[in-house]
Structure 1
Amino acid sequence: MESIPQPTDGAVSGPARSESYRELTARAVVLGVIQGVILNVAFVYAALKLGFSIGGSTVASIMGYALLRGVFRNGTMVENNINQTIASGINTAGTGVVFTVPALFMLDAAWRADGGAGLEFQVLPLVIAGVAGAVLGVVAIIPLRKQMVELDRLRFPSGVATATIIRAGSTGMEKAKLLAAGFAISALWKLVMVSGWLETPGLIEKYGAGIAEEELLFGFGIIPAYWAPAVYLSLMNMAAGMLAGRSGLPFLLGGLISWWLISPTAVASGWIPADLAVDETAGFIYSKMLRPLGIGVLIGGALMGVVTSFPAIKGAIGSLASATKTAGSGKVVGSDEMKLPVLIGGSVLAMVLFFVASMMTPGVTVAGASLSAIVGTLWLGLAALIVAQATGLTDISPMSGMALISVTLMMFLLNKNIAASMVVGVAVCVAIGQGADMMQDLKTGFLIGARPVKQQLVQFATTWAGPIISLAVIYILWHGGPNGQNGFGEGTALPAPQGGALMGIIDAVNTGNVPIDKYVMGGLAGATLGAAPMSGLGVLVGLAMYLPFSITLGYGLGCLLQMAIQRVKGVAFCEHKLVPFAAGLIVGEALMGIAHAGFSILRAA
């Protein structure tokens, strides 16, 4: 159990004794906003590739130390905490958007490709829904801070890890240098790859091995194409595996089972059409077998994650009841919290935004918008409470399951209006992320002696920008694909697996064309895996089956590399040196990828 930090008294010891102990400063806010925008952009790109997001508090804390202590020389821990609170708040909204909105873009493109009219939707209602979710996610969590953090003492592992980094002392500057080195290496490597300088079509044609479309092909004409003999040459992909280490091995295992067991078994057993050409076999197996099975496993695992989180409902309701008793006079939520009228006002504002976003969506009546606002707000608040409790206990956020439940529920309530249902899905996903992130940040603040009200204030003031930035990035990537093609989705370097899974469910519910056998088989397997002691196992395996094996294999190699380094150099080396370097690799490649997509749009214009 962590010790209760001593409250700050407005001064610090040593040379800065006469100076006020800086916390909420202009430079901390500006630094947090800048980092939040950069991380949001980078991790939206990463989530489109890998299917899961990566927290930004670590990166923000390291860079905050480098600037506040290394450059300004007089930065404080609580000032850095404000910086990382803002940065992670803006960044986290990207996860809620990238798990949902890509489904609309891909559905529209797919239906148009089939000769249909496409899907009618507007971006502005999604922006408003995202802002409403960001506000309500914070509002729903603030009343529970004292109970969850100070009284229940929930773990919130990421919050504890961030507090450890903020207290890093002299190692903070070394971590910043490693992060910068990783950034530079990865950005340069991505530039080389997108330039095509390493492409070797002649070698591939002659020897069956070489580099094409940022993949290293190693079949040599011996390994059949349905074994997927390729690895994606992405340092970001490998770095994500390096951050995961042993816990990421189920992801690799899911890919190995898919392409080195199911695929060759399907060919050997004659489960594919006999008239298929050899080079068409892998595509058929992926689209007709592995992809729907992966969606089923992903959904089953995600929903089982929600089921296993049900005990958190009791805990959340109990915490809310306890928080009400400990709120004091009723004018404040806690001893140093935002005032209750502000929270009520935020809730009302979020509900109004919800209603407006629904009304702006084609085909929604006033009654439908009212239903969407009321049901959506209630479900959104409950989901945020559940996920905050689950995150505090396990550090796992069942966001996929909540999004699937939300969109499916609203499709039935709103007469299969896909765009209107997605408004709710976006708001719920953003709110879940914001609620969990806010409580993680408040845990960090508690451990280093920060004032909760200041963290809450800056989160309120800045978090709304996150959904807007994320939607802009998705738009740029969609329209910035090579040769004017779509920039993400099936068959691209950014497969957007979470959005693809949601797209599959929406399309199936809308058309009635459901591969029931594969969904059911996958769902049962995913639910079984999701009930295993290892949190998130079903989701990891489902994503691996859905993703191209070249991405899964690169990620798995990163996991194995981290395990080897840890065996030789130890745990401390990985935590203090490998983690910041790998984080730099992720951000560098992602930002270069975004820049390349933007350049492609400008060049085509």
Structure 2
Amino acid sequence: MDFARKWLRNSRLLEAQPEFTVRAVFWGLLIGCLICFTNLSLGLQSGWISMMSIQSALIGFLISRILPTPMTPQEIIVVQTTAVATGTMPLAAGFVGILPALTLLDEERDGTPAIRLSWLAAIGWSCSVAFFGVFLSPPLRKQVIIEEQLTFPSGTATAQLISVLHDLPPPDTTVRRRQGYRHLEDQEEDAGMPDESAPPVTSSHEVPADQAVVAREGWNELIWSFGVSGAMTLSAYFFPVVFSIPLFGNYLAKEWLWFFTPSLSYVGQGIIMGFPTTISMNLGMVVGWAILSPLSKFMGWAPGPVGDMSNGARGWILWISLGIMCADSLVSLLPVALEYIEDALRPWRRGYSNISEDHTRIRNEETETEDRLVPHSWVVSGLVLSISMGTLLVWMVFGAEGIRPWATLLGFILGGLLSVIGVRALGETDLNPVSGLGKVSQLFFAWIQPGNIVANIIAGGVAEAGAQQAGDLMQDLKTGHLCHASPRAQFFGQLIGSSISILVTTTAFTLYNRAYVIPGPSFPAPTAYVWLSLARLLRDGQLPENSGSFMIVFSAIFAVSSALKTYTARRGHWLAKWIPSGVAFAIGFLNTPSFSIARLLGGIMEFLFRRYFAKDGGDIRLIIVASGFVLGEGVVSIVTLVLRTFGVGVASCIGCGHGLCAGCPAVL
């Protein structure tokens, strides 16, 4: 009874406190801009970005502790929501994949010259895809959070963190089993009764914390980790060998790209990813770069330099990586798709009744009042406006020869359908399979507009953007739901964050393009090659010698692996997290070993820390340190970008005997 009274008292108090405030939006934008720069840099380097919702909430809390009046839990949620919407735009708008892919077009091979967007054109492209996912979020929230009560592990973990930091009762994370439809003979059995057999669902991200420790030590650990990471990044700019250590000798570094980048940002990403994911990535690295790369070279299938994406080993193993990602993503989506098909067919079955559905809806009704929800008219108007304006802007940027308006419109429609599947998968597994959804859209547009590589890439990007953005924002809405935050306040934060991020991301990308060659040695943009390679394959149907056989074998292996992983994950089996992730395995192929090794170090740190120093999950200092590592390099990368723009180069190439250092005159 005491717990119930405390929960009720806190719930009423929270609802009476301010949520959408100027200071919450300001700090959310500031944190989001730092994450945006970090994600743009990391995405162009490795194709991998971090949503960083937990980190945003944690940094918001630390900032709140030094304000004259600390922010309320709901303000922290607005901070987090705004920061995530701002920070994930590099992926949502295709700055780490779609736009670099268009610059790789070859007129002789592809029938169209390379497309390099100006700052204004990039603004137009970003505006065309920035808001569709935001307006999709409210109706999806009602379906997957209110009615189906999906877990959304990262969103749940963030809610747990916020509750602990503010000394609130833990959020109710009990998930009821969906009742669905029942036959007439089962109507009276358990009608309207909650499923008490379903256990409370806890996230894999254990985040309980000691509030006093975080408030006392959090800033110190964030500052020193930020400073060390930033200092290492700055030293690597002036002395490039710092991030290109020939750990296995100059020969392997120069000829086979086996060198080590001790980036603390990569280490921080490994901590955030967790040990199982980094293991999958490094298994892919070993298979791709230690086995298949030498095999393709020595057998004459990839005669060019190892790092060449057109006729070298790196380009050869790219196709196997593509097959693995497609197989893993599509198989993991099958259960979700089958559930929707089953739900659609149930009304046509004999003995169908919707009585039990009515009971379920009564039981899972909306907990927020109308003044805190996003009005239906806003959603409809926003979707119509975002789709129509998006179609117009894409036509203005790329022209009818690039992609026809009707194809762009179909891209938005397909994006909406794929968003439903992607959000469901994210809610159940904590993985947003946007890479697979993007490939589905490319396959679809290869059929309706064949032979047009530009249209294939752009329409695929439009569809992927909606699915990716809706999924990321749904995690935030789950956090808000568990912590009694206003969905309307979060919606405003998402709109503002997305709007500001258009300017921030476009400007940053333009500056990077002026200072560096993208794709290039410093920023290889590996996912750009994935987009372009699949578009070319769908048009030409040609693969590098013998790569098709390996694609089939590895695709089959990871189709089975993905099915087993999905099966065990849906049943909450401990084995699920140790079954290799196909997407992470494929990323190990895409990136050179230097990226994966550093992340493995972070994963090992996370494993050892959780096992020996925080067995009860009661210490989040490692999350703070990881956040400092990631943000330190991201922020200092802005400094190095300015230095490069003004012509300030490396101080010394001492120790670099392989010519692969970023900033080395030999590779610029």
Give the secondary structure class of the aligned counterpart of 1:593.
helix
Per the alignment, in what secondary structure is the counterpart of residue 245 of structure 2?
strand
* Aligned pair partner of 2:440 in 398, 405, 408: 405
* Counterpart for residue 319 of structure 2: 292
Query: What is the alpha-carbon distance in structure 2 between the residues aligned to residue 47 and residue 274 of structure 1?
Result: 27
* Alignment correspondent of 2:59: 63
Q: Residue in 1 aligned with 2:519?
A: 488
Change (3 A) 1:574 1:188: farther
What is the match of residue 193 of structure 1? 236
**In the alignment, what sits opposite 2:184?**
none
User: Do structure 1's residue 358 and structure 2's residue 394 form an aligned pair?
Assistant: yes
> Partner residue of 1:155?
151
What per-residue deviation string (whole Å, max 9, x for no partner) do you get for residues 286-326 of structure 1?
A: 235323332333333333344454246459979xx989978
Asked whether the equivalents of residues 302 and 316 of structure 2 are also in contact (C-alpha less than 8 Å), the reply is: no
2:299 partner letter: W
Structure 2 contact 425–432 (Cα < 8 Å) conserved: yes
Q: Which amino acid aligns with 1:458?
A: G
Mean Cα displacement is larger for which, 383-392 or 294-303? 294-303
1:339 aligns with 2:355: no
Q: Which residue of 1 aligns with 2:417?
A: 382
2:279 paired residue number: 249
Q: What does residue 602 of structure 2 align with?
A: 558
More helix by share: 1
* Aligned-pair CA distance for 1:480: 1.6
CA distance in 2, matches of 1:130, 1:424: 14
CA RMSD between the two structures: 3.9
Q: Is the 8 A contact 2:453 2:536 kept in 1?
A: no
Superimposed CA distance per residue, residues 312-350 of structure 1 (whole angstroms, 9 cap, x where no aligned partner): 6459979xx9899789999x9968411111111101111
1:17-416 to structure 2, matched below 5 A, reads 21-98=17-94, 102-109=97-104, 111=106, 118-120=113-115, 122=117, 127-167=123-163, 168=165, 169-173=211-215, 174-196=217-239, 212=241, 214-220=243-249, 228-247=257-276, 248-265=278-295, 270-272=298-300, 280=305, 286-311=313-338, 313=340, 336-364=372-400, 368-373=404-409, 375-416=410-451
Q: Which residue of the partner structure matches residue 15 of structure 1?
A: none
For the pair 1:548 / 2:587, whether they are aligned, the reply is no
Q: Aligned equivalents of 2:450 and 2:397: distance in 1?
A: 13
1:158 offset after TM fit, Å?
0.8
| Structure 2 contact 518–524 (Cα < 8 Å) conserved | no
Quick one: distance in 2 between partners of 1:120 and 1:225?
31
Question: What is the Cα deviation at residue 172 of structure 1?
Answer: 3.8
Q: Which moved more, 1:39-48 or 1:175-184?
A: 175-184
CA distance in 2, matches of 1:226, 1:580: 38
Distance in 2 separating the partners of 1:370 and 1:116: 22
Q: CA deviation at 1:401?
A: 1.3
**Residue 29 of structure 1: CA displacement?**
1.1
Aligned residues: 568
Which position in structure 2 is the counterpart of 1:587? Answer: 631
> Distance in 2 between the 1:405 and 1:547 partners?
23
Q: Distance in 1 between matches of 2:506 and 2:442?
A: 18
Change (3 A) 1:228 1:148: same
Contact conserved, 1:301 with 1:523, CA < 8 A, in 2? no
TM-score (norm 1): 0.82
2:474 to 425, 432, 439: 439
Secondary structure of 1:463 counterpart? helix
Tell me the SS of whatever aligns to 1:360: helix
Contact persistence 2:47–2:527 (CA under 8 A): yes
Counterpart in the other structure of 1:204: none
Residues 105, 112 of structure 2: 8 Å contact kept:
no
Change (3 A) 1:54 1:5: farther
Q: 1:136, CA displacement in angstroms?
A: 2.0
> Quick check: 1:304–1:527 contact (8 Å CA) kept in 2?
no
Name the amino acid aligned to 2:114: L
Which has the larger displacement, 354-363 or 244-253?
354-363
AA at the equivalent of 2:212: S
Contact 1:141-1:385 within 8 A present in 2 as well: no
Task: Say if 1:246 and 1:294 are closer, same or farther in 2 by CA, change over 3 A.
Answer: same
The equivalent of 1:477 in structure 2 is 512
Alpha-carbon distance in 2 for matches of 1:229, 1:371: 43
2:524 and 2:57 map into 1 onto residues whose CA distance is 30
**Equivalent residues of 2:261, 2:598 under 8 A apart:** yes
- Between the aligned partners of 1:235 and 1:519, the Cα distance in structure 2 is 37
Distance 2:24 2:131 in 1: 21
Cα distance 1:9–1:542, how it changes in 2: closer, same or farther (>3 A)?
closer
Cα deviation for residue 411 of structure 1 reads 4.5
1:17-49 per-residue CA deviation (whole Å, 9 max, x = no partner) reads xx9622111111111112112211211212222
Unaligned runs of 5+ in 2: 166-210, 346-353, 567-579, 650-668
Deviation (angstroms), 1:58: 1.7
SS for the counterpart of 1:71 is coil
